[in-house]
Copies of this chain bind each other. A is one copy, B any other.
Amino acid sequence: MNYEQLFSARGKHVQSPRLAGVNYELTFNWGYPDPACLPNEAVLEAAERALRTHGQDPLQYGGAMGNPKFADQLVEKLRRDQKMDITRDNIMITSGSMPILGLMCDLFVNVGDTVIVEAPTFLGAVRVMKNAGAKVIGIDLDANGMKLDQLEAALATLKAQNITPKFIYVIPNFQNPTGLTTPVERRQAIIALAKAYNTIILEDDAYYDLRFRNQSLPTMYSLAGNTGVVYMGTFSKILSPGMRLGWAVGEAGLIKTMSTMKVDGTSPFSTHIAEEFCKEDGLVNNIAKVRAIYAQRCEQMQDALSEFMPAEVKWTDPDGGFFVWLTAPEHVNIADAVTKARARGVDFQIGVPFFADGRGQNTARLSFSYVPFDQMARGIQIIAESIREVM
């Protein structure tokens, strides 16, 4: 059967598969949690409490939210930690945060519509946007996030063509892939531009709780006065990616529409077990624990980079999150360094796929979240030697 003849306009745009994982002895490639941060025993205890004291609910059908008590815990967490002024009507719970990207595209993006992202930005988000048929425009970053002049110029150019971008996708804390944080003033300026050009912001704050130093910054959702911003987050970095739990925050009417569009209910199984896990400061204590581990990992990577990298190579020193962004001199082809490192069992990610336009050949993302502690220095040494060889 020739299925393509029946495809939708969107179906004809499906061309961005997931990056395939290849196993190397040591990988700095993926934004995976440290296995030591995955609380198998505590989750098992939570499963025991949920399956023995919640009756049929964990295994039965649930509503769009899964377990409403878990939704209450999430509201409490976001009010306490993120200082967001929200109620239950402002949130939806999804299977990880990826479906929020999918729903944003379903709700806003016709094939051919434009969205704006940071350049570089999170690969997985661009994959979803492109598969939905979006034209993705990247705005370069400086040390403080999206370059305002470039953002304003892009918005003005689009307006001159009668195009309103459907949303501006921003990762303001410890950005993936750069590790950079957008300060309050820049956040406010981006919000002002979005308002001026009649569009909205999709704020992806996957790493908010993993701040190692300095004060937490107010979310763009709060800075915008709780309107014109959809805020997305995830339990993947603070509990478990395997359990697939994420959330969106937005104005009540919009959340209601997204919830209507949402095809599947959220897992009662995961949300009942998560409720038990989060009780009695379970989540609070877990966040404190994993934050300390990632802070130590980041410091370890910074030390190794300082020790082994050629002087001409620069890298970021993030305030939190999982990632360091490395920039070699312009003539250096990092692809060759990756090949050399892989031959020695060490994998890392060239920066190119994080850009929409083939740039980034002299850049790389190094994840400090996953490599075994005692292999961090050796791995960075091998990467440094590989880069030195191609310089």
| One of B167, B261, B268 near A11 (C-beta < 8 A) | B261
Q: Does A6 sit at the interface, judged by CB under 8 A?
A: yes
Cα A200 to Cα B6 in complex, Å, equals: 9
Closest to A227 in B: B1
| One of B43, B98, B164 near A51 (C-beta < 8 A) | B43
Q: Does A351 sit at the interface, judged by CB under 8 A?
A: no
* Residues of B contacting A18 in the complex (Cβ-Cβ under 8 angstroms): 63-64, 260
| One of B14, B38, B48 near A260 (C-beta < 8 A) | B14
Cα A107 to Cα B244 in complex, Å, equals: 24
Cα A227 to Cα B267 in complex, Å, equals: 32
Closest to A253 in B: B3
Least CB distance, A94 to chain B, in whole angstroms: 8
A16 adjacent to B61 (CB under 8 Å): no
Per assembly, the copies of the chain total: 2
Q: Which residues between 228 and 285 of chain A lie within 8 Å of chain B, taking CB atoms?
A: 228, 236, 240-244, 251, 253-254, 257, 259-261, 263-265, 267-270, 272
* Residues of B contacting A267 in the complex (Cβ-Cβ under 8 angstroms): 95, 242-244, 267, 270
Which stretch in A28-36, A145-153, A306-314 binds the other chain? A28-36
A242 adjacent to B57 (CB under 8 Å): yes
B242 adjacent to A1 (CB under 8 Å): no
A113 adjacent to B8 (CB under 8 Å): yes
B16 adjacent to A260 (CB under 8 Å): yes
* Residues of B contacting A227 in the complex (Cβ-Cβ under 8 angstroms): 1
Cα A3 to Cα B228 in complex, Å, equals: 8
B242 adjacent to A58 (CB under 8 Å): yes
Q: List residues of A whose CB falls within 8 A of some B CB.
A: 1, 3, 5-11, 14-18, 21, 30, 32-33, 35, 38-41, 43-44, 47-48, 51-52, 55-64, 95-96, 98-99, 101-102, 106-110, 113, 128, 131, 164, 166-167, 198-200, 227-228, 236, 240-244, 251, 253-254, 257, 259-261, 263-265, 267-270, 272
